[in-house]
């Protein structure tokens, strides 16, 4: 067996005969693209002509190695050609046919006009044909290449190369060392072929590899997952599998004597399916499970009784580290879900035991209310559930030569709910992403490969676990590098502190120097939480507090926290399909995305509030209160969101049960309130700060006086809706029209008009600072009475009614707890925004991301999600392009200024 690795590097051996024969076709397609680009320039299709010529140069780049078309570059060329030009050319073609109301080809009284018309039509038809031909050609060649992957070496034979890469290869599992010498030609995937993963190319090599090989996680993983006091050096993977099989056989007999049925699960069940009743060759342990209720019947006296009986049945050869039906708070290892572990004393390798329980009806997802019984691993942080017909009744079989082994009734169906349906596919080790140093282009290619390789996984919405791991790692590292690239681009164009950075960066540098922590710039309105965070982080890596490093800190640390927490919310609350798309729907919110690249408090503030919300949702109240206090130390208005979480908790956990039972339980109410003692301490400390300081803001108090800026609420509603995109606008309008409510609409319009008429404030900063987009929004839009008192109230009424009548709105208001959450959220928006006299769209970031989280978790229409992501990505690209490429000369200062949110 050869582990199938995507052979996309340019230096991976000679291409197949089919690839060699495809060279003329590729050359012809490149020439056609160049010719087509020139023709489009002739008919004054400037955009299409330039793009077509650029794509032709991409084709030249894909062919440039001189040894034929290679898959990484060719697929990139084909996909870029298709996605960049196909829709554009099709729209132009249809517009030419239908909008002009004349035949596609026609004669004419004027020769020049007739020729140009026919020439333009021919050019568009040729463009459509070429746009389709190139990706088809790339896909055909890709499929042929992949079908021959096992007949070609994964590692090239470089003995005849004139340029040495410095990579040595010996038998067994020797590591690779050395670096590429200058002059070699590499693609984005070239460094993958240098990875130590590729010292193993067969199943026999896997068995002969030492147990601390990087394929098995390396030495650190071995120490962390093995009983060190029993582990021996020099063992191979075959020794480990033999030891695991012996331990597993002893456990099967012990549990059989005890009367408890245990069954294979997780990776061992995958091995049973894929490797004809044997473990996965590179597996590192054996996983078994049992039903919790059966375990409690067999061992009614508790975990200690189970531990002693199993230890006695196993004998002195094995070490029972822990054993129980449910280990409770003592759970350790494997994300806290492992209830038992038994190891071979000779080697230290062992068997992990997990407990399965029935899912109670209140924990079922909406699509699981189908009358079936569902099971889940207890204390499993991953949201996997398994139907009863896949698990029970257990069937008897043989595994790794051990007879009397029990497995789920339908092992393939059971495994598919955790790993997807492509169980026979040998995944290439996803660790190559962790051991490589791909640039943004390389990660784009990796993501494209993963997305197109296994389309069947998307059909049944259960993608293999390894696929998620590789794709998420590629997205995270690619996004991280892209974020760093964006920040570096801003540093290139704006090397000095800009806008509010002229206050934040010098203040942080004062702290980093450690000279005077009492020194303070009176222009700064927020507390110094961000400065201490940045100072501590950069101090750990001994990096100076330069403008570049401080911006990079924001673009990496708080941004990563936001990405992770949003992903966790989507994975735990949203449907199991298109999770990455749903995550991007939240992360690409334009004003939040823009300020990820600048040293502002907004990104850190949002990250800490989201972290507080996540901890609160998982009932980690003490830690949530601590993180909430830190968030207030970054931005004072975050106290509002901490108050909202506490209020919701008291209402749902304390007041609503009393209302339902019509009985006031004082002890229960006090217990609920007492659980939030860290919240209370933070609130008391905040009140003391306001009393001592005389204001919520620290500096610039005269320009940040609390006001009744009621117009902030309509502004918030319109801003969030605008950034969700045109498809969402149309959907909201459609739902609003379907269920008209004139009285409700009139009431909303009246309230909104009053807010805008008597609660609009034109702050001096808004009127004077022409660097913000809001300056032009106010000057050209919001100052018109027709817009402010006519269009905006009507639009707000449509948005509210359309949202309430939409499936998402109906689902949201179906439960009392959700209705309470909406009212508390509205109160928090009022408390956080209305007192602020200044209109800045970044103040809406936290409520906007909360709305987008609900939208991403509840929206079933993929086109809605795709349109939102595309719309936001376009806005982000344009705003960053304007900020970096379109500066203007300030008449007041004579310096270059830049437009921003």
Helix H or strand E segment including 605: helix 601-617
Helix H or strand E segment including 403: strand 402-407
Domain holding 36, by residue range, is 17-153
Half-sphere exposure of 93 (CA within 13 A, CB side): 15
Let me know: does 70 contact 190? Beta carbons within 8 Å.
no
Provide the phi-psi class of 233: left if phi over 0, else alpha when psi is between -120 and 50, else beta: beta
What pLDDT is stored for residue 485 in this prediction?
A: 60
d(CA 746, CA 120): 53
| Helix (H/G/I), strand (E/B), else coil: 417 | helix
d(CA 629, CA 471): 35
Distances (CA, A) of 827 to 501, 645, 676, 729, 796: 31, 11, 20, 25, 18
Q: Would 212 be classed as within a structural domain?
A: no
Query: DSSP letters of 207-221?
Result: HHSBTTSGGGTHHHH
Q: How many residues does the chain have?
A: 901
Are 275 and 411 in a shared domain?
A: yes
Are 519 and 380 in a shared domain?
A: no
Please name the residues in contact with 804: beta carbons below 8 A apart, sequence gap of 6 or more.
810, 813
Are 811 and 720 in a shared domain?
A: yes
Structure-block tokens of residue 754: 């009053």
Query: DSSP letters of 326-357?
Result: --GGG--SGGGTEEEEEEETTT--EEEEEEEE
Are 247 and 139 in a shared domain?
A: no
Name beta bridge partners: 889.
896
- Closest of 487, 392, 474 to residue 441, by C-alpha: 474
d(CA 229, CA 759): 71
- Closest of 221, 252, 257 to residue 400, by C-alpha: 252
Domain final residue pick, 402, 419, 436: 419
Chain-centre distance for alpha carbon 635: 26
Let me know: does 778 contact 768? Beta carbons within 8 Å.
no
Q: Would 208 be classed as within a structural domain?
A: no
Are 263 and 148 in a shared domain?
A: no
Half-sphere exposure of 711 (CA within 13 A, CB side): 20
Let me know: does 500 contact 461? Beta carbons within 8 Å.
no
Q: Would 453 be classed as within a structural domain?
A: no
CA geometry: angle at 527 spanning 557 and 592, to 5°?
45
The enclosing domain of 316 has a CATH number of 3.30.460
Q: Would 565 be classed as within a structural domain?
A: yes
d(CA 68, CA 62): 9
Let me know: does 16 contact 144? Beta carbons within 8 Å.
yes
Please name the residues in contact with 819: beta carbons below 8 A apart, sequence gap of 6 or more.
813
Let me know: does 183 contact 163? Beta carbons within 8 Å.
yes
Domain final residue pick, 419, 439, 466: 419
d(CA 203, CA 536): 47
Please name the residues in contact with 283: beta carbons below 8 A apart, sequence gap of 6 or more.
241, 244, 267, 268, 271
- Closest of 428, 411, 417, 351 to residue 384, by C-alpha: 417
Q: Would 1 be classed as within a structural domain?
A: no
Count H helices, E strands: the chain? 38, 11
Q: Would 183 be classed as within a structural domain?
A: no
Are 125 and 253 in a shared domain?
A: no
Q: Residue by residue, what is the 3-state secondary structure of 99-154? A: HCCCCCCCCCCCHHHHHHHHHHHHHHHHHHHHHHHHHHHHHHHHHHHHHCHHHCCC
Name beta bridge partners: 387.
374
Mean pLDDT split into 10-residue runs, the chain, 901 residues: 30 48 73 78 69 75 52 59 64 59 44 58 73 71 51 33 31 33 31 42 72 68 62 75 88 89 88 83 84 88 85 86 73 63 83 88 74 83 78 89 88 81 49 44 53 45 47 52 63 84 90 79 88 87 83 84 87 81 89 89 92 89 91 93 92 82 79 88 92 86 84 93 89 83 87 90 83 87 85 90 86 82 92 90 92 89 85 88 83 80 82
d(CA 474, CA 480): 10
d(CA 483, CA 559): 9
Q: Would 298 be classed as within a structural domain?
A: yes
Considering the entire predicted model, what is its pTM? 0.53
What pLDDT is stored for residue 382 in this prediction?
A: 60
d(CA 10, CA 450): 19
Half-sphere exposure of 704 (CA within 13 A, CB side): 17
Are 146 and 233 in a shared domain?
A: no
Are 132 and 244 in a shared domain?
A: no
Please give the tally of structural domains in the chain.
Answer: 3
Q: Residue by residue, what is the 3-state secondary structure of 743-809? A: HHHHHHHHHHHHHHHHCCCCCHHHHHCCCEHHHHHHHHHHCCHHHHHHHHHHHHHHHHHHHHHCHHH
Are 535 and 666 in a shared domain?
A: yes
Q: Would 7 be classed as within a structural domain?
A: no
Are 123 and 226 in a shared domain?
A: no
Are 223 and 136 in a shared domain?
A: no
Distances (CA, A) of 787 to 391, 736, 779: 62, 20, 12
CA geometry: angle at 257 spanning 358 and 229, to 5°?
85
Name beta bridge partners: 600.
none
Are 134 and 278 in a shared domain?
A: no
Domain final residue pick, 404, 419, 434: 419
Q: Residue by residue, what is the 3-state secondary structure of 421-443? A: CCCCCCCCCHHHHCCCCCCHHHH
């Amino acid at each position: 067996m050869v582990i199938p690795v995507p052979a996309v590097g340019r230096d991976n051996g000679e291409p197949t005969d089919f690839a060699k024969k495809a060279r003329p076709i590729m050359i012809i397609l490149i020439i056609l693209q160049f010719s087509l680009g020139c023709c489009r320039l002739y008919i004054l299709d400037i955009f299409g002509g330039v793009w077509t010529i650029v794509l032709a140069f991409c084709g030249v780049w894909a062919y440039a190695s001189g040894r034929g078309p290679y898959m990484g570059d060719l697929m990139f060329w084909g996909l870029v050609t298709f996605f960049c030009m196909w829709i554009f050319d099709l729209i132009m073609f249809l517009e030419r046919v239908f909008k002009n109301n004349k035949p596609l080809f026609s004669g004419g009284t004027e020769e020049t006009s007739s020729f140009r018309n026919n020439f333009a039509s021919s050019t568009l038809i040729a463009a459509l044909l070429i746009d389709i031909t190139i990706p088809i050609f790339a896909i055909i060649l890709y499929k042929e290449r992949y079908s021959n992957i096992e007949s070609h070496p994964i590692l090239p034979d470089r003995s005849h190369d004139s340029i040495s890469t410095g990579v040595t290869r010996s038998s067994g599992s020797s590591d690779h060392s050395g670096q590429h010498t200058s002059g070699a030609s590499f693609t984005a995937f070239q460094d993958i072929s240098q990875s130590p993963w590729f010292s193993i190319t067969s199943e026999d090599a896997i068995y002969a590899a030492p147990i601390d090989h990087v394929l098995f996680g390396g030495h650190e993983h071995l120490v962390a997952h093995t009983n060190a006091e029993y582990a021996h050096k020099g063992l191979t993977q075959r020794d480990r599998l033999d030891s695991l099989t012996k331990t597993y056989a002893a456990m099967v007999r012990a549990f059989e004597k005890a009367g408890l049925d245990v069954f294979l699960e997780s990776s061992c069940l995958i091995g049973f399916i894929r490797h004809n009743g044997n473990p996965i060759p590179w597996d590192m342990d054996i996983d078994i499970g049992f039903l919790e209720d059966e375990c409690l019947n067999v061992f009614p006296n508790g975990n200690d009784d189970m531990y002693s009986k199993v230890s006695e049945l196993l004998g002195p050869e094995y070490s029972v580290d822990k054993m129980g039906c449910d280990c409770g708070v003592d759970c350790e290892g494997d994300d806290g879900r492992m209830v038992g572990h038994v190891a071979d004393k000779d080697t230290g390798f062992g068997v992990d035991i997990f407990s399965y329980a029935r899912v109670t009806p209140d924990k079922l997802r909406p699509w699981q209310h189908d009358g079936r019984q569902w099971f889940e691993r207890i204390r499993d942080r991953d949201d996997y559930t398994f139907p009863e017909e896949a698990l029970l009744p257990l069937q008897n079989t043989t595994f790794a030569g051990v007879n009397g082994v029990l497995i789920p009734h339908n092992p393939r169906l059971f495994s598919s709910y955790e790993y997807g349906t492509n169980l026979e596919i040998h995944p290439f080790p996803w660790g190559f992403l962790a051991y490589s140093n791909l640039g943004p282009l390389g990660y784009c290619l990796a993501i494209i490969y993963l997305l197109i390789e296994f389309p069947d996984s998307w059909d049944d919405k259960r993608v293999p676990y390894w696929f998620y791991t590789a794709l998420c790692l590629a997205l995270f590292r690619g996004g991280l590098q892209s974020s760093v690239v964006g920040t570096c681009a801003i540093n290139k164009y704006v090397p000095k502190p800009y806008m509010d950075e002229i206050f934040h960066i010098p203040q942080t540098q004062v702290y980093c120097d450690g000279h005077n922590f009492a020194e303070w710039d009176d222009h700064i309105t927020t507390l110094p939480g961000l400065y201490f965070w940045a100072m501590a982080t950069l101090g750990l890596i001994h990096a100076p507090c330069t403008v570049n490093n401080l911006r990079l800190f924001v673009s990496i640390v708080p941004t990563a926290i936001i990405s992770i927490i949003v992903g966790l919310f989507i994975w735990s609350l949203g449907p199991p399909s298109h999770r990455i798309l749903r995550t991007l729907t939240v992360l690409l919110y334009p004003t939040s995305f823009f300020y990820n690249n600048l040293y502002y408090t907004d990104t850190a503030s949002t990250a800490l509030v989201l972290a507080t919300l996540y901890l609160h949702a998982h009932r980690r109240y003490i830690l949530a209160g601590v993180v909430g206090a830190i968030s207030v130390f970054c931005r004072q208005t975050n106290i509002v969101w901490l108050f909202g979480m506490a209020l919701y908790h008291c209402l749902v956990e304390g007041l609503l049960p009393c209302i339902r039972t019509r009985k006031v339980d004082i002890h229960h109410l006090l217990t609920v309130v007492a659980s939030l003692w860290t919240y209370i301490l933070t609130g008391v400390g905040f009140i003391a700060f306001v009393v001592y300081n005389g204001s919520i803001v620290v500096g610039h108090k005269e320009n940040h006086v609390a006001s009744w800026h009621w117009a902030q609420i309509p502004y918030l509603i319109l801003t969030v809706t605008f950034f969700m995109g045109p498809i969402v606008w149309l959907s909201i309008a459609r739902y609003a029209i379907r269920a008209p409510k004139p009285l409700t609409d009139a009431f909303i319009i009246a309230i909104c008009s009053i807010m805008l008429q008597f609660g609009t404030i034109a702050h001096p900063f808004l009127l004077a600072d022409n660097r913000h987009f809001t300056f032009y929004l106010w000057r050209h839009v919001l100052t018109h009475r027709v817009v402010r008192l006519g269009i905006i109230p009507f639009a707000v009424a449509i948005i509210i009614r359309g949202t309430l009548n939409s499936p998402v709105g109906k689902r949201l208001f179906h439960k009392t707890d959700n209705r309470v959450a909406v009212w508390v959220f509205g109160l928090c928006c009022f408390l956080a925004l209305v007192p602020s006299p200044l209109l800045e769209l970044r103040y809406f970031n936290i409520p906007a991301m909360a709305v987008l989280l609900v939208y991403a978790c509840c929206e079933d229409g993929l086109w809605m999600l795709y349109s939102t992501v595309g719309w936001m990505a376009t806005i982000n690209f344009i705003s960053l392009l304007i900020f970096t490429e379109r500066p203007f000369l300030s008449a007041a200062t004579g310096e270059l200024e830049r437009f921003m949110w």
